[in-house]
Amino acid sequence: MYAIVTLAAGLLFGLGLAFSEMTNPTVVLGFLDIFGEWNPSLIIVMASAITVGMIGYAVKRKRMAPMLASKWQVPTLRHIDSKLIIGSSLFGIGWGISGYCPGPGLTALVNNPSEGFYFVAALIVGSGLHYFQTRITQK
């Protein structure tokens, strides 16, 4: 059942990305270009995501555990540190340069393979570097 719900959630997420045109880097870059040809249409996407998140936290407050797991898995860190600032800055810069974030970037492997390949390769290399850097600093 867990695998079916996970697959359904992934499909719903992918359909939402496609329907909202978050998989189109031109639309995303148009949204990020607030001093040029700004395209405010993705505000609806953000508002929808925030609403879903708020509903999720409301459900969490009312239930002791999720329906298909033994406990909730919610981030516990609440402080802002250099890792958070640097990581979110790198994410934002990469998103602003390419028009892709990880979810839509994976869809680019099908929609726009030449760009998608480079994006996903950079995503894998960056994730690998972070993984090995974390392993080294923990020893």
Q: What is the tens place of the pLDDT at every residue in 103-113?
A: 888 888 888 88
- Return d(Cα 110, Cα 70) in angstroms, integer: 36
CB atoms within 10 A of CB 17: 18
Q: Please say if the pLDDT value at position 62 is more than 90.
A: yes
Residues 13-31: what's their mean pLDDT? 86
pLDDT at residue number 51: 96
pLDDT at residue number 137: 82
pLDDT at residue number 76: 87
pLDDT at residue number 130: 86
Handedness of CA 74, 55, 14, 104 (dihedral sign): negative
Greatest alpha-carbon pair distance for the chain in Å reads: 49
How would you class 105 by CB atoms within 10 Å of its CB: exposed for 0-12, middle for 13-18, buried for 19 or more?
buried
Q: List phi, psi (to 5°) of 12.
A: -65, -40
Instruction: Return mean pLDDT, the chain.
Output: 88
